[in-house]
Amino acid sequence: MSYESLDYEIIEKENPFEIRLYEEYNVAEVALEKGDKMDSAGFRHIFNYISGRNANKESIAMTVPVLNREEGSKYVTSFVMPKKYKDKPLPLPDDPEVKIEKVPQKKMAAYRFSGSVLRERVTKHEKMLSQWLEKKGYHKLSEARLARYNSPFSLPILRRNEILIEVEKFEKKS
């Protein structure tokens, strides 16, 4: 199955790392207290929203990636909304846990990998990306987020996953 995906421009590339410029986009997101099944619980809330549990009873197309990040004691799951909603309002969620947010244009560092997203693997890839950013003179503006492009039922070897971190380049002073 092919899903609409976020557009970006590659600014710098050194396999397997990239610096990308993402244009503004919208997300539907849920922030839940960390605990068991936090990822699937967040996914379920937003899946219900795009399946028609909203003020307009409107189905909204699934897009990729699904984004996850940690914010203090919360685990945040975000679905990127289709581009057709860039300049028109999204239906209001029926579920008070679901929030609609506009994400401004930003520069993101990316590390792409396949396979499972076990915590140890994700941490290892975050560290590799952070080391590359330091070497290249980039300053991290956010904590890492996990971007997943495939269903959890996909074969691990065929899955596309990414670690994304918002960045800015250090400017050398003369």
In order along its 174 residues, the chain shows pLDDT tens digits of: 589 999 999 999 999 999 999 999 999 999 998 875 556 788 999 999 999 999 999 999 999 999 999 998 899 999 999 999 988 999 999 999 999 999 999 999 999 999 988 889 999 999 999 999 999 999 999 999 999 999 878 888 899 999 999 999 876 655
pTM, two decimal places:
0.90
Q: Where in the chain is the domain with CATH 3.20.80.10?
A: 4-22+105-169, 25-103
Domain 4-22+105-169: what homologous superfamily?
Regulatory factor, effector binding domain (3.20.80.10)
DSSP secondary structure, 110-156, as one string: EEEE-S---HHHHHHHHHHHHHHHHHHTEEE-S--EEEE-S-TTS-G
Class of domain 25-103: alpha beta
Identify the pLDDT of residue 36. Answer: 59
